[in-house]
A and B are shown apart, each in its own frame.
Chain A
Amino acid sequence: MEIKNKYEVIIGLEIHVELSTASKMFCQCSASYFGKEPNTNVCPVCLGLPGALPVPNKKAIEYTMMIGKALNCKINNKFHFDRKHYSYPDLPKGYQISQYDEPIAQHGWYQPVMSSKKFRITRVHLEEDTGKLIHSKNGTYIDFNRSGVPLVEIVTEADFRSADEVKTFVEELQMVVRYLGISQADMEKGSMRLEPNISVKDKTKIKEGELPPYKVELKNINSFRFAKKAIDYEVKRQIELLEEGKVPVQETRGYNEKKGITFTQRVKENADDYRYMPEPDIPYFEFDDKYLNSVFLKVPPVPQEIFTNLIKQRLNKKTAFILMKNKQTLDFFNEVMPELLKKNSEFITPQAVANLIVNEKVDIKNSKDKFISNVIKILRPIQTDKDLLTQVVKKVLTNNPNAVKDFKKGKENVVMFLVGQVMREIKGKAKPQDVIEEIRKSIKD
């Protein structure tokens, strides 16, 4: 049996998204910590000082509900926070406030616009980010600026069968989050983090519907490009082990982007015991449908809907997808298009305008008016400069006596060569139809 057919790649995702709320999850410190002096964006609460208590950020809860809704989840009317205990220097309380048995959202699905497959979403929950360790030659330092920043965790079912499926999904998830306006979702800056759980199933040994006895969690993936590379590498590594008759070890592996390899970070022999307990410092939440519906109203159209709209405007799929990738670009398109359509020109079609935008023929950073006038200039019908045409044709015919001779002998296709010569010379300032006519007329004369 061929290797390709013998093995099935099985991947589930954990994706963390940092919310761009004004303040942190449980205190008044700014949620924007990037580039700040270490430990200048902290207070008793996010430092976990004795006696400090968490007060939840309502906006963050609302944002999490919005993500859940966009991912077709059931949003729970009742939920609460839990304490997840583990000991690490960047976790100042010795536990992370997270959600365990009653997350904000669960049981959803999402189908990327360029994909024919639905991926199931297990749950979407809200938690707090940790501090950061800074390793230097003098020792390890802790920066708590990031401690307590709201973090949404999205967990999928193990529905992915290739790195490409993962890439398509995650890229579009980034788009969704940015459309919601709730996160920068920047992988390079860590405001979006991807942790795939990867295993490879030997179909000759494991029955359908069953999963391999291990999984490997990948960490430190800092871009979409590396995501694909890391997964491809890991899948290859696992298949090699399976081919040797070995079972890969259940572990957490990091990705080294310089070497393009994954390496062991932590071997998990048993499942971690986080000793979850309900967070007693935060009352349980109960929201009525009226409130939930008011939050759902804030969820803008999701990519599938936007995509359908663009296709209705007769854009081709590829252009539509590129156009909508960036919300600002799409917004700009949606803003200028109605005015451009008012010009009632057969040349100014949504596809033509979209082409100009995605190929960067016209700068959208200019004002709307400037853009519109530029587009009109480019897409207007060509007016033939008759005098110039006569002059140029005369010149071209004089310079190409053999072609003229051939034409007279009845070689009709020579005319296209002559048209090409004229068009080059005249720099597009004539309609092709007029050029052909002028050539025929001149040769006859």
Chain B
Amino acid sequence: MNLIGKSVTELRNLIKSKKVSKGEVWDFFVKRVEKYNKKLNAFLTIGEIKNLDNDGELAGVPVAIKDNFCTKGLRTTASSKVLDNFIPPYSATVVKKLEGAGSVILGKTNMDAWAHGSSTETSAYGSSKNPWDLSRTPGGSSGGSAVAVSAYLSPYAIGSETAGSIKQPAAWSGVIGLKPTYGRVSRYGLISMASSTDCPGPLTVSVEDAALILKVLAGKDEFDATTSQVEVKDYPKLMKEKRKFTIGISDEFLAGVDEDIKKAFFKVKSDLEKMGHRFKKVSLLSPEYSISVYTILQRAEVASNLSRFDGVRYGNTREFFGEEAKRRVMLGNYVLSYGYYDAYYKKAQKVRTLIVDDFKRAFKDVDLILTPTTPMTALKLGEWEKYPFFGEKMDVLNEPIAIAGLPAIDFPVGLDRKGLPIGLQLTGNYFKEDEVLNAAYQLEKETEFYQVIKKGFKKWR
């Protein structure tokens, strides 16, 4: 059976109704990985078929997992040579939950080393390639996961986002990426980048899949003190309720954005209006402020989180760190140093509070905020070196949302004049993933997201 482009929901139903066996599904995807991975470099390690007795919601559906989630018995490198030989003795909560629901780990995906970057080019194992144009980056840091879904080497993937690392590669690779509220999904077993914003989430080919996966992943975890007690909702069900939203748009989030992306943005706005949703201008702090705040807080947490890789364990010494990690550790330690802490870290925390308050104020007037996901579409490989703080710049529209810990979904809305996917994002209030998914689902129903995802698969028949 040709399974190309089937959503998780469709695959699951085919398996349940015995139209296709779990083994056939597995073979189908493994063959695709074998065929295309050399070109795309999406996967670093391939898994094994197991978990066949499980009859859960995701029974037999393969999943690609970003290589910063610990997988028991399966090599986990975070794309750094420091962990070149690391085989974790335990699995991340996210992995346990997916396996508990019946999913099978197809493999571990490439990423920027330690999730430091927005292009996968800091990976110690070479960059992943954008399936839309192999001379371009797929975005990052969850680039391998985005590529795996975009070229349909895996029906869905798990990524992690600190500020844009799910939604930016989803936008550049033309798939759907969901970043839940901070604390909605457990971080236990996710190799920490910046602990106060790290957030796991799915990359999928349909909104319904994103809702389904979130339902499996969400919830309080006794192993992560920062997970929330807020009740997990039935996202796939709530998604289908007919609701009308007041959607905010912010000029501050359109400043400096590429013209093609702006054009797509206003097209989607008018489509949503036609569907009966109201739009309202909201004034938000310029995302530029978030670059400084995010950079300081993130570098500090990075320096701290990487200090456990001291060369005593895991086989490789600190010399195996790449340049980007070293830069981040140095800056992070600097801002935490005695005498500098107040001027940098403490001040950044205060501005962070202002950004949070800013969003809270905005969400008194609107249900959702629609913005572009990125200021431009996928860049050529190697271009990142021209931009100091490349990642921060590419993620400028994601950083405020990440710093505030809000949920947001990216979805493709068209192609630019170079034929590259454009992504927009809907951001919701805390724990309103149901609203974010609901609006995205309505738009998907109405527009099929302008056929972008399907066009993506075509190149990888």
Contacts and interface: CB of A to CB of B under 8 A. Distances in A.
A47 B455 CA distance: 47
Given A50-B83, A51-B70, A94 B191 contact: no
- The winner among B83, B312, B333 for most chain A CB atoms within 10 A is B312
Nearest to B188: A53
A51 B308 contact: no
Interface in A63-98: 83, 85, 87, 89, 92-95
Interface string A262-284: 00000000010101110011110
A432 interface: no
Contacts of B226: 53, 280-283
Contacts of B307: 85, 87, 93-95
Nearest to A45: B223
Contact of A52 (B189, B312, B345): B189
B312 A142 contact: yes
Given A44-B90, A94-B310, A273 B337 contact: yes
Interface string A375-419: 000000000000000000000000000000000000000000000
Given A44-B189, A87-B310, A273-B338, 8 more contacts: A50-B76, A50-B192, A51-B189, A52-B188, A54-B225, A275-B304, A280-B226, A281-B226
A85 B345 CA distance: 15
Interface in A221-277: 271, 273, 275-277
B88 A55 contact: no
Instruction: Pick the most buried of A142, A277, A282: most chain B CB atoms within 10 A of its CB.
Output: A277
Contacts of B92: 51
Contacts of A142: 312
Interface in B174-196: 187-192, 194-196
A49 interface: yes
A95 B304 CA distance: 7
Contacts of B304: 83, 85, 94-95, 275, 277
Given A44-B90, A83-B304, A95-B304, A53 B224 contact: yes
B419 interface: no
A56 B225 CA distance: 8
**Which secondary structure dominates chain A's binding surface?**
loop
A276 B224 contact: no
Interface residues of B, number: 42
A52 B70 CA distance: 9
A95 to B, nearest CB: 6
Interface in B24-53: none
A53 B70 contact: no
Interface in A103-129: none
A40 B315 CA distance: 21
B300 interface: yes
A49 B88 contact: yes
Q: Which of A94, A142, A276 has the most chain B CB atoms inside 10 A of its CB?
A: A94
A48 interface: yes
B435 interface: no
22 contacts: A50-B309, A51-B69, A51-B88, A51-B189, A52-B189, A53-B223, A55-B223, A85-B336, A87-B307, A89-B310, A92-B313, A95-B304, A95-B307, A275-B336, A276-B336, A277-B301, A277-B304, A277-B341, A280-B194, A280-B195, A281-B224, A281-B226
A29 to B, nearest CB: 13
Contacts of A277: 300-301, 304, 336, 341, 345
Contacts of B190: 51
A103 to B, nearest CB: 18
A98 to B, nearest CB: 13
A55 B220 CA distance: 12
B430 to A, nearest CB: 15
Given A50-B78, A282-B225, A94 B336 contact: no
Lowest 3 CB-CB distances: which A-B pairs, in order? A94-B307, A275-B336, A280-B195
